[in-house]
Amino acid sequence: MIPPRSALSKCLTGFARRPLFNPTTTRSVRRTPFNGRHGFFTTSQQGAEQKGSKVGITRTVGLTTTCALFALWLYPTKSLTQLSKPLGLVADEKTPPEGVEIKIIKSTEKGPQKAAQEESVWAGIAKSFEGFPSIPGPPENITDLVVDFILPEWTKSLPGLMRKLQRELEMAPGSLAAEIWDEAQDPFTHPEIGWEAKVRVSNALCEEEKTFLERRKKVIVPALAKYLGLKEEDIHPDDIPTVAICGSGGGLRALVAGTGSFLASTEDGLFDCVTYASGVSGSCWLQSLYYSSVTSNSFQRAVDHLKARLGTHIADPPVAFNSLTSAPTNKYLLSGIVEKFKGDPAASFSLVDVYGVLLAARLLVPKGELGVNEKDFKLSSQREYLRYGQNPLPIYTAVRHEIPEMDEQEVNGKLPVSEEAKERAKKEAWFQWFEITPYELFCEEFSAGIPTWALGRKFKNGSDTGLRLPEVRMPFLLGIWGSAFCATLSHYYREIRPIIRSIVGFGPIDGLIWNNLNEDLSKVHPIDPASMPNFVYGMHGKLPSTVPENVYDNENIQLMDAGMSNNLPIYPLLRPGRDVDIIISFDASADIKTDNWLSVVEGYAMQRGIKGWPLGIGWPKAGVNPKETAKELDKAESAASPSDSESHIASAKIDQAARQQQQQDDNSSTKTEAEKHQQASDELGYCTVWVGTTQERTSEPPPPPKPIDDESSWRLMEPDAGIAVVYLPFLANEKKVPGVDPASSEYMSTWNFVYTPENVDDVARLARANYEEGREQIRATVRAVYERKKRRREEHAKRVKEEAWRRMGEQGDQFS
Q: Which residues of 583-609 are buried (b: 16+ CB within 10 A; e: fewer)?
A: bbbbbbbbbbbbbbbbbbbbbbbbeee
Are 569 and 246 contacting, i.e. CB atoms less than 8 angstroms apart? yes
Report d(CA 405, CA 407) in Å as an integer. 7
Report d(CA 299, CA 266) in Å as an integer. 8
Which pLDDT does position 564 carry in this prediction?
A: 86
The CB-based long-range contact list for 181-186 (8 Å cut-off, 24+ gap) reads 181/80, 181/83, 181/338, 181/339, 181/342, 182/83, 182/85, 184/335, 184/338, 184/339, 184/342, 184/343, 184/469, 184/470, 185/85, 185/87, 185/88, 185/89
Are 725 and 693 contacting, i.e. CB atoms less than 8 angstroms apart? no
Are 218 and 121 contacting, i.e. CB atoms less than 8 angstroms apart? no
Between helix 317-325 and helix 158-169 the angle, nearest 10°, is: 30
Q: Which among 379, 395, 393, 391 is positioned nearest to 297, based on CA atoms?
A: 391
Burial of 122 (0-12, 13-18, 19+ CB in 10 A): buried
Q: Which among 453, 441, 471, 481 is positioned nearest to 289, based on CA atoms?
A: 481
- 481: three-class secondary structure by DSSP: helix
Report d(CA 342, CA 798) in Å as an integer. 65
Report d(CA 169, CA 173) in Å as an integer. 11
pTM, two decimals, is 0.76
Measured from the Cβ of residue 766, the count of other Cβ atoms closer than 10 Å reads 26
Measured from the Cβ of residue 473, the count of other Cβ atoms closer than 10 Å reads 27
State which H helix or E strand residue 252 sits in. helix 251-268
What are the residue ranges in the chain where pLDDT is below 70? 1-154, 403-429, 487-526, 621-682, 697-705, 711, 813-816
Which pLDDT does position 810 carry in this prediction?
A: 76
Which pLDDT does position 675 carry in this prediction?
A: 54
- 741: three-class secondary structure by DSSP: coil
Report d(CA 284, CA 247) in Å as an integer. 8
Are 482 and 251 contacting, i.e. CB atoms less than 8 angstroms apart? yes
* Pairing of β 463-464 and β 530-533: unpaired
| Distant-in-sequence, close-in-space partners of 205: CB < 8 Å, separation ≥ 6 | 213, 575, 577, 578
Are 455 and 340 contacting, i.e. CB atoms less than 8 angstroms apart? no
User: 130 has which bridge partners?
Assistant: none
